[in-house]
Amino acid sequence: MAASAGPEIERLISLLAKLPGMGPRSARRAALALLKRREQLLVPLAASLTETAAKVVNCSICAAPDTRDPCSICSDTSRDNALICVVEEAGALWAMERSGAFRGKYHVLGGLLSALDGVGPEQLRIAELIGRVRGGEMGGGEAREVVLALPATVDGQTTAHYLAERLSAAGVEVTSLARGVPVGGELDWLDDGTIIQALRARRPA
Amino acid sequence: MAASAGPEIERLISLLAKLPGMGPRSARRAALALLKRREQLLVPLAASLTETAAKVVNCSICAAPDTRDPCSICSDTSRDNALICVVEEAGALWAMERSGAFRGKYHVLGGLLSALDGVGPEQLRIAELIGRVRGGEMGGGEAREVVLALPATVDGQTTAHYLAERLSAAGVEVTSLARGVPVGGELDWLDDGTIIQALRARRPA
């Protein structure tokens, strides 16, 4: 590609193209929209990203990104500490929260077990989850139930199976979202109604 | 939507959702990708946008965004000053440059005439174009030919017709890209081959 737009704009385009759902052409469109709407879009987005980079940290308890540590959910004393929902990523946590159906705490694994990608238990936040369930100094008391809200994919179900064994051994009730989640579906693309149904019909893992 | 992600992240998501091709869900995906790839993506994109906002200005001759004023194309003495290509937006200019088939200068109108949207000649950079063609202090000599590279839409063709009359009266040859541009097509989504063919077969407007 000719560097007709100058190195700064070319660099902006190549960074935008790395966002999910963006390609080289849509990234150029986005860059153009940013340049056309400098005060309404470019400057606020630059400020928002800078602020996010500076302020947002991963919660030391659940690993969800937030400006507070512990995060606003972990700090919320009105939520049930003994009920922990395990998710792959923060996107799934946000989807659960949008459904409004869950009033416990969360635990972000940071990925899924995958033989293909060489992801083992030590790469995920599993030891921290077991620690929370057993009631370490951070967890604030033992957990009564762990709800596995993992994707209905091969890796998701492998991870759920592994966690169910580990957690049962730690003496906690383990449930998982009901079949209501479409097979192969990713949690944060689901509609709220399906999430509510799946949560209500959760069953032993 | 529940403010589960915190106000900073919610604000980032709402700004990302304003980019073309993005919606609320893809913006959440993008925000999540940014938070997961903090050092590789979030921090560089924040820096790139901040740098773009600080450094990129619209060229005082052709109105293309660049870090230099006059822009790198207007400053390029190896390009033909007497040949001016008129485009709607910088995206079309970039598309022309990618084709590598044009060695003259550009003029960015900043929009199209539109009765429906109430855009008249005074809202576009038409007076500046006439000034350049006549050889004002900025233009550096009179223009020999103006190539209209406007979209093959109703507004694009209305604008082309208006410009052809005004420019012919100013005593310059006016051509437009050949029919090769698909009807209803936007210039910056075209493949380079079509742009090259359309430029080669340009004809009197």
pLDDT of B20 > 70? The answer is: yes
Mean pLDDT of chain A: 87
Please state which of the ranges A79-83, A186-190, B59-63 shows the lowest mean pLDDT.
A186-190
A2-16, A55-69, B4-18, B64-78, range with the lowest pLDDT: A2-16
- Is pLDDT of A68 > 70? yes
Highest mean pLDDT (candidates A183-192, B88-97, B178-187):
B88-97
With b meaning 16 or more CB within 10 Å and e meaning fewer, what string describes A61-88? bbbbbbbeebbbbbeeeeeebbbbbbbb
Looking at the fold, whether A83 and A149 belong to one and the same domain comes out as yes
With an 8 Å Cβ cutoff, are B49 and A34 in contact?
yes
H/E segment holding residue A194 = helix A192-200
* Contacts B98 to A, Cβ<8 Å: 1-2, 4
Q: Are B6 and A72 in contact (CB < 8 Å)?
A: yes
In a domain, A174, yes or no: yes
Quick check: B43 contacting A, CB < 8 Å? Answer: yes
- Which tens digit of pLDDT belongs to each residue from A99-149? 888 999 999 999 999 988 899 999 999 999 999 998 755 545 678 999 999
Q: Is the alpha carbon torsion for B164, B166, B168, B174 positive or negative?
A: negative
Which among A61, A77, A59 is positioned nearest to A69, based on CA atoms? A59
3-class SS at B185? coil
Q: Find the mean pLDDT for residues B170-199.
A: 77
What percentage of chain A reaches a pLDDT higher than 70? 90
For residues A19 and A110, membership in a common domain is answered with no
**Distance between CA atoms of A33 and B162, rounded to whole angstroms?**
26
Residues A122 and A175 in one domain: yes
DSSP letter string, B68-91:
SSS-TTTT-TTSEEEEEEEESSHH
> For residue A194, what are the contacts with CB-CB under 8 A and spacing of at least 6?
A180, A181, A182
Q: Domain for residue B78, yes or no? A: yes
Mean pLDDT, residues A26-40 taken together: 93
Does residue B78 share a domain with residue B120?
Answer: yes
E strand or H helix that includes residue A8 = helix A7-16
Residue B60 lies in a domain: no
Q: Are residues A118 and A158 in the same domain?
A: yes
Q: Which helix (H) or strand (E) holds B66?
A: strand B65-66
Question: What is the C-alpha separation between A138 and A71, in angstroms, rounded?
Answer: 13
Q: What is the pLDDT of residue A83?
A: 94
Task: For chain B, positions 54-93, list CB contacts with chain A under 8 A.
Answer: 55-56, 65-68, 71-73, 89-91, 93
* Predicted pLDDT at B2: 43
The minimal CB distance from B8 to the residues A15, A25, A55 is found for: A55
The shortest CB-CB distance from B29 to any of A5, A38, A91 is to A91
Based on the domain organization, do B105 and B188 belong to the same domain? yes
> How many C-beta atoms lie closer than 10 Å to residue A17's C-beta?
16
Same domain (yes/no): B129, B101: yes
What mean pLDDT is predicted for residues A55-84?
A: 93
A2 inside domain: no
**B185 CB near a chain A CB, below 8 Å?**
no
Residue A152 pLDDT: 79
Spell B146-162 as b/e; 16+ CB within 10 A means b. Answer: bbbbbbbbebbbebbeb
For residues B162 and B101, state if they share a domain.
Answer: yes
> Pick from A55, A77, A92: which residue ends a domain?
A55
Across chain B, mean pLDDT equals 87
β-sheet bridge partners, residue B145: B83, B173
Distances (CA, A) of A64 to A61, A67, A74, A84, A150: 8, 10, 9, 13, 15
Amino acid at position B169, single letter: A
CA–CA separation, A161 vs A159, rounded Å?
5
Query: What gap in Å lies between CA A201 and CA B178, rounded to an integer?
Result: 63
Tell me the β-bridge partners of A58: A65
CA neighbor of A88 nearest in space, from B176, B156, B36: B36
Q: Does B134 share its domain with B172?
A: yes
The CATH number of the domain where B25 resides is what? Answer: 1.10.8.420
**Cβ-based contacts of A53 with chain B (< 8 Å):** 38, 42-43, 46
Best B14, B15, B123 residue to mutate vs chain A (most A CBs within 10 Å): B15
The verdict on a CB contact (< 8 Å) between B9 and A52 is yes
Residue B36 lies in domain: 6-55
Q: Are residue A76 and residue A167 in the same domain, yes or no? A: yes
Q: Does a structural domain hold residue A188?
A: yes
Residue B199, pLDDT score: 75
Tell me which chain A residues have a C-beta less than 8 angstroms from the C-beta of B50: 46, 50
CATH label of the domain that carries residue A11: 1.10.8
CATH at A164: 3.40.1360.10
Residue A60 covered by a domain: no
> Which among B4, B8, B53 is the nearest to A38, CB-wise?
B53
Taking residues B197-205, report their average pLDDT.
Answer: 73
pLDDT attached to residue A139: 46
pLDDT in tens, A140-167: 567 899 999 998 788 998 999 999 999 9
How far does B169 lie from chain A, in Å, by closest CA? Answer: 31
Least confident window among A60-69, B102-111, B179-188: B179-188
- Tell me: do B72 and B47 sit in the same domain: no
pLDDT tens digits, one per residue of B148-183? 999 878 899 899 999 999 999 988 999 988 766 776
B41 Cβ under 8 Å from any chain A Cβ: yes
The reply to whether B78 and B170 lie within a common domain is: yes
Judging contacts by C-beta atoms under 8 Å, the chain A residues touching residue B12 are 45, 48-49, 52
- Per residue in B105-161, pLDDT (tens digit) is 999 999 999 988 899 999 999 999 999 998 755 545 678 999 999 987 889 989 999
Q: Please check whether residue A106 is in contact with residue A97, taking contact to mean a CB–CB distance below 8 angstroms.
A: no
Chain B: give the shortest CA distance to residue A66, in Å.
6
Total domain count for chain A? 2
